Amino acid sequence: MAAQKKITRAEQKALRPIQILDAAFEEFVRCGFAGTRVEDIADRVGVTKGTVYVYFETKEKLFEAMINHFSVPFQELLGITEGLSGSAIDRLLSILGLLYEQIAEDRTTRELTRLVIAEGHRFPDLIDRHHDQFIEPIIAKVDALILEGVASGEFREIPVEFSEIVVAPILTTTVLRLIFDDRRVPTPNKEAFLQAYFDLLLNGLLAKSH
């Protein structure tokens, strides 16, 4: 509390938009775009409606800014995947593990996914950017790794369209958690899930003798 007193006017100003974006995230997640009241966002920050409009022209602009703001960590993930080394298998599993942490486990990205699904119609640009910056690069990455693994003999010959299927369990976990919100679905055990996921992914269902 004493520390808070030290916040200068300048620091406060730099902080304000972040506070508003954080509050906007919570409210938009809770009520959707149309259902959210700007006043509730303001209340959450502890300011008045007018203050929100000092920083963001309209509710739409605020929504877009909020999406952009919270997309940053996801973008950083894509950078990390560049630095991986090891066999194609190792790198593929590493990437899938990171994706799981980022998409399925991280509440922010999970809820961002909800907003993308729910509000996409109203914000087509958002969808396009989401596709170009997230979906496309990830699919391309997985595609490339599979091809590399096939070339090196680690993987058997398979169609490139597999990529979506390969990552599917991650998005599915995300969506099921979004729908059942820790109420009907227990918080999944990461280790057990990844182990089962990777086991099935690598070996398939069939009995070896089959």
Partner DNA sequence: TATGAATGAGGATTCATTCAT
Partner DNA sequence: AATGAATGAATCCTCATTCAT
Interaction site with a copy of itself (CB under 8 A) = 30-35, 114, 116-122, 124, 127-128, 130-131, 135, 146, 149, 153-156, 158-159, 161-162, 164-169, 171-173, 175-176, 178-181, 183-184, 192-193, 196-197, 199-210
Q: Which residue's CB is nearer to DNA, number 59 or number 114?
A: 59
Q: What is the C-alpha separation between 140 and 158, in angstroms, rounded?
A: 15
Q: Which residue's CB is nearer to a copy of itself, number 18 or number 87?
A: 87
Q: Is 50 in the site for DNA (CB under 7 A)?
A: yes
Q: Which residue's CB is nearer to DNA, number 39 or number 181?
A: 39
Q: What is the C-alpha separation between 55 and 38, in angstroms, rounded?
A: 12
Q: Is 193 in the site for DNA (CB under 7 A)?
A: no
Q: What is the C-alpha separation between 45 and 25, in angstroms, rounded?
A: 12
Residues near 174 by Cβ (< 8 Å), separated by ≥ 6?
A: 103, 104, 109, 110, 113
Stretch that binds DNA, among 45-53, 81-89, 179-187, 201-209 (CB under 7 A): 45-53
